[in-house]
Structure 1
């Protein structure tokens, strides 16, 4: 089967389904800092009316992807089926696992397969080291690319013009007191990674 080619498609606004776009924004409005939301809070975050926010939330409750006590809403584990659909339908995350398993066996360390998604790095596949306790980022985890090892490796491989555009729009946030917050320093770090072919980061996104 011929591999489909990626296309940079410019979609006309008339071809968009506004309700679907808003529904996605509603789901992604829930995060670590906003795990539970009222209709009013969601409306403010998404930029829609309170009545519309409530209808979206009740629709999620109806589909089993959210729950409520009558006032506050939160997502349920069923929403993970959305991410599962990608993992089940995409070939590469499954095809890469045997290679990750081999690397993990050789190195006795956990291994990951990650991709750039916008300005973030997303962890898609993971094989844990054979230990009782393991730490690391599970599939679906999203981090700022500049503050993670995998993200820096991927950034270092970007064409110069894409890297320049990334650095120009980037807002560097100090997640820890050791996070690189100087663009010139970050550029030098990425150049060194490009030269060496590997990256090592410590305490850039969290301490420990």
Structure 2
């Protein structure tokens, strides 16, 4: 992120984005005081920001409770265009759900977190199910580790400088040295299996989505420990994920020729 001292930095816009992000995850309806506490801004400032969003049609208030309106989806419309990663991935993810009877997601790395940009649930809802736009800690997820494993040495060092490596279960890897060893293994194998590292009773397999040697995201299948095991995911799901990720990457490259121009011989 650029320095706050930069003359190109507009603090009011940054604060507005902070307020919008407060409504992420399961915080769909909040009081202004709760938003202020979440983002660390004075309540009068948050109130003015919310009133501005209400005037623009992006927020709504009733009985002191604030929520976002469907118009907020306009802000993400450019990302979810016909040539975007989610749009390309969804048909292939649907095949994965049909073949595995499990939940399939696509995540991208953003700082120390993974943002889920596409997700298809199988017919049985998973405990602690996430939604599109949900942020999860990269170190505690399979999809996060396959992307961390493919960072450059310098980028990975930067990650460890700022990552908190919070413990969520007894299986969460919180020690930098152990996580580096795990990432070396993930890089070598080309996939990761995460067992109860973020939530008890949950496990997942993930592979990177690679385009011209660069990882643009991760594809993952999630399940529960009573429906799947490390062995079943490795033997059955990982091969399907690899094929699906290769297809997604190939189509993404074709759909975005401006990003991947061929270099003349």
Give the aligned partner of residue 151 of structure 2.
158
- Cα deviation, 1:54-80, whole Å, max 9, x if unaligned, reads 221112223333232354433344434
Give the aligned partner of residue 171 of structure 2.
178
Please state how far the C-alpha of 1:33 moved relative to its aligned partner: 6.2
Distance 1:34 1:172, change over 3 A: farther
Give the aligned partner of residue 118 of structure 1.
111
Specify the SS of the correspondent of 1:139.
coil
Give the aligned partner of residue 141 of structure 1.
134
Distance in structure 1 (CA, Å) of the matches to 2:41 and 2:4: 23
Are residue 37 (structure 1) and residue 52 (structure 2) matched? no
Specify the SS of the correspondent of 2:79.
helix
Distance 1:17 1:9, change over 3 A: closer
Q: Which runs of 5+ in 1 are unaligned?
A: 1-7
Distance 1:164 1:14, change over 3 A: closer
Distance in structure 1 (CA, Å) of the matches to 2:93 and 2:79: 19
Please state how far the C-alpha of 1:29 moved relative to its aligned partner: 2.6
Distance 1:127 1:72, change over 3 A: closer
CA contact (8 A) 1:116 1:145 kept: yes
Are residue 64 (structure 1) and residue 28 (structure 2) matched? no
Specify the SS of the correspondent of 1:121.
strand
Please state how far the C-alpha of 1:81 moved relative to its aligned partner: 3.8
Please state how far the C-alpha of 1:166 moved relative to its aligned partner: 1.1
- Cα deviation, 1:139-165, whole Å, max 9, x if unaligned, reads 222101011110011111112222122
Greater fraction of residues in helix: 1
Instruction: State the superposition RMSD in angstroms.
Output: 3.0
TM-score where L is the length of structure 1 = 0.77
Are residue 169 (structure 1) and residue 162 (structure 2) matched? yes
Distance in structure 2 (CA, Å) of the matches to 1:86 and 1:145: 21
| 2:185 paired residue among 187, 192, 198 | 192
Give the aligned partner of residue 207 of structure 1.
200
Distance 1:137 1:52, change over 3 A: closer
- Cα deviation, 1:93-126, whole Å, max 9, x if unaligned, reads 2123333334444444433222111111111123
Q: Which runs of 5+ in 2 are unaligned?
A: 202-265
TM-score where L is the length of structure 2 = 0.63
Please state how far the C-alpha of 1:24 moved relative to its aligned partner: 0.8
For these two proteins, the number of residue pairs brought into alignment is 198
CA contact (8 A) 2:82 2:88 kept: no
Q: Which has the higher contact order (CA 8 A, sep 6+)?
A: 2
CA contact (8 A) 1:83 1:140 kept: no
